[in-house]
């Protein structure tokens, strides 16, 4: 079963330029988690047999919210690793992070997006 969390907005001090580190900017994350045996939750209507998407959001917040991070790639890595560590039922997680581009001291409408999939080893 797949659980998707889309357009999750997280405030992060994100960027390599000093101006980008002055305050948090809203960064969008899209997550797609493959959950093992989640069909049992659907059959029994028991949240304890699946991964609560609200818990995924809390995990992302703990991993990156309001932190000072230089690279979008670092947000992707921290998010993917934190989710796999926190949720043994998740066998695979895909993380897409999108942020606005800061250029010449002005935010631009262009975006930088990094996508990476993570798989549980073993």
pLDDT bin (cut points 50, 70, 90) of residue 17 is confident
Of 6, 85, 92, 99, which is the active-site residue? 99
User: What is the percent of the chain where pLDDT is above 90?
Assistant: 59
Burial (CB count within 10 angstroms: exposed 0-12, middle 13-18, buried 19+), residue 12:
buried
Residues whose CB is less than 8 angstroms from the CB of residue 115 and which lie 6 or more positions away in sequence, other chains included: 76, 94, 95, 96, 97
pLDDT reported for residue 80: 94
pLDDT reported for residue 68: 95
Contact 27, 66 (CB under 8 A): no
Q: Is the pLDDT of residue 84 over 90?
A: yes
pLDDT reported for residue 31: 95
Higher pLDDT, 115 or 71: 71
Q: Which domain holds residue 27?
A: 2-119
pLDDT reported for residue 56: 96
The number of residues making up the chain comes to 122
- Say which CATH number the domain at 109 has: 3.30.1130.10
Total domains in the fold of the chain: 1
pLDDT reported for residue 9: 96
Does the active-site annotation cover 6?
no
């Amino acid at each position: 079963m797949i659980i998707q969390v889309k357009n999750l907005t997280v405030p992060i001090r994100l960027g390599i330029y000093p101006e980008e580190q002055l305050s948090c900017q809203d960064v969008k994350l899209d997550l797609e988690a493959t959950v093992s045996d989640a069909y049992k939750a659907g059959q029994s209507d028991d949240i304890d047999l699946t991964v609560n998407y609200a818990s995924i959001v809390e995990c992302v917040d703990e991993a990156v919210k309001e932190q000072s991070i230089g690279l979008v790639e670092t947000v992707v890595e921290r998010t993917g690793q934190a989710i796999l560590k926190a949720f043994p039922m998740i066998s695979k997680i895909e993380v897409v992070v999108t942020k606005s581009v800061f250029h010449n001291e002005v935010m631009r409408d262009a975006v930088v997006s990094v996508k990476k999939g993570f798989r549980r080893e073993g």
